[in-house]
């Protein structure tokens, strides 16, 4: 009998060994308070570095909306969306959650090597903490958004409550993206240099600053492709829930599937490489 077999018979396991998926999820759930506390600590630390503190959580998306909205206002001319200001503000505020979850989630393992190498815990907690941090930073922006919309002529309505399930699905989707990016970055460190370009491309092509139907009215096949674009679906549901109007109700079904599949794939993809984190 080998030493490994003898240890297994005595219930001993190799240090750093990957646990079964069910056990892994149970261990992660047991550390849910750690995930929230880590997210809160990082958010507070980021704010403490700035003199304006929490005000930056509101100023950053507002300034982005002003700068990009002004540029695209003139570029689009007569193809601008109706109620342009609300269209841009909703798009910029929501896209920022995805962008930061992607970029910071990708660095969640490589940026915490000392922690990963010194302590035994499910590494899954690190990308989840990054997503939780940006979800918490999104909340003040959404509060500001709900204050801005009535000033733009949009009366609060029961449809605004649809933001709650939408943000839940959006968080699930971003968590899956963060887990996938976190593992890929462990294998290919240079990916952190590429992700900002990917994020910027998605920002300019996901309908954040323009109305897809107006821009591509002469290319219906492009509009049909956008019907299956997950980020576009999020922005469309949010805009029509807050601003009124009709949209393809299947967007809820499509994005629900995207969110669940992305999360499950990201979870399994990340878990499979659990033993490599801190070693590569």
Q: pLDDT (tens digit, 9 = 90+) per residue, 170-194?
A: 999 999 999 999 999 988 888 888 9
pLDDT over 70 percentage in the chain: 91
| pLDDT of 51 strictly over 70 | no
| pLDDT of 12 strictly over 60 | no
| Angle, alpha carbons 170-39-96 (nearest 5°) | 40
Q: Is residue 29 part of a domain?
A: no
Q: pLDDT (tens digit, 9 = 90+) per residue, 204-242?
A: 999 999 999 999 988 999 999 999 999 999 999 999 999
DSSP-derived 3-state class of residue 42: helix
Q: Find tokens 């999104």 and name the residue.
A: 138
Q: Kindly state the average pLDDT of the residues 44-72.
A: 80
- For residue 53, the model assigns a pLDDT of 64
Q: Is residue 3 part of a domain?
A: no
pTM: 0.90
Q: pLDDT (tens digit, 9 = 90+) per residue, 129-159?
A: 999 999 999 999 999 999 999 998 888 989 9
Residues 6+ apart with CB under 8 A from 166: 234, 237, 238, 241
| pLDDT of 39 strictly over 60 | yes
- For residue 4, the model assigns a pLDDT of 46
Q: Is residue 239 part of a domain?
A: yes
HSE of 98 in the Cβ direction (CA atoms, 13 Å)?
Answer: 24
**CA–CA separation, 59 and 110 (whole Å):** 29
> How far is residue 271 from each of residues 21, 22, 63, 182, measured CA to CA in Å?
7, 11, 38, 11
Q: Is residue 79 part of a domain?
A: yes
Domain count, the chain: 1
Q: Which residue segment(s) compose the domain that 117 sits in? A: 37-276
| pLDDT of 168 strictly over 80 | yes
- For residue 7, the model assigns a pLDDT of 41
| pLDDT of 54 strictly over 60 | yes
pLDDT over 90 percentage in the chain: 60
- Average pLDDT of the chain, as a whole number: 88
Q: Is residue 162 part of a domain?
A: yes
Q: Is residue 32 part of a domain?
A: no
> How far is residue 130 from each of residues 144, 188, 255, 257, measured CA to CA in Å?
22, 20, 22, 23
Residue 41: count other Cβ atoms within 10 Å of its Cβ. 12
- For residue 50, the model assigns a pLDDT of 65
Q: Is residue 94 part of a domain?
A: yes
Q: Is residue 22 part of a domain?
A: no
């Amino acid at each position: 009998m080998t030493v490994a077999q003898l240890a297994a018979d005595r219930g001993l396991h190799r240090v750093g060994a990957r646990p079964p998926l069910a056990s892994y999820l149970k261990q992660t759930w047991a550390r849910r308070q750690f995930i929230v506390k880590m997210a809160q600590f990082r958010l507070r630390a980021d704010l403490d570095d700035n003199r304006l503190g929490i005000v930056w959580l509101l100023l950053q998306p507002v300034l982005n909306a002003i700068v990009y909205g002004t540029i695209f206002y003139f570029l689009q001319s007569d193809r601008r969306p109706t109620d342009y200001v609300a269209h841009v503000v909703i798009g910029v505020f929501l896209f920022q959650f995805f962008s930061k979850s992607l970029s910071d989630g990708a660095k969640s393992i490589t940026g915490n090597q000392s922690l990963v190498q010194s302590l035994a815990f499910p590494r899954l907690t690190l990308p989840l903490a990054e997503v939780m941090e940006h979800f918490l930073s999104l909340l003040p922006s959404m509060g500001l958004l709900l204050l801005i919309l009535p000033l733009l002529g949009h009366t609060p309505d029961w449809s605004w409550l649809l933001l709650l399930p939408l943000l839940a699905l959006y968080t699930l989707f971003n968590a899956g993206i963060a887990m996938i990016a976190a593992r890929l970055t462990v294998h290919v460190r240079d990916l952190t240099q590429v992700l900002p370009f990917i994020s910027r491309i998605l920002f300019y092509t996901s309908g954040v600053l323009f109305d897809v139907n107006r821009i591509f009215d002469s290319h219906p096949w492009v509009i049909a492709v956008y019907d299956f674009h997950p980020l576009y679906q999020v922005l469309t549901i949010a805009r029509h829930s807050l601003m009124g109007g009709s949209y393809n109700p299947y967007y809820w079904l499509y994005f629900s599937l995207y969110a669940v599949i992305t999360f499950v794939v990201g979870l399994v993809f990340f878990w499979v490489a659990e033993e490599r984190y801190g070693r590569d």
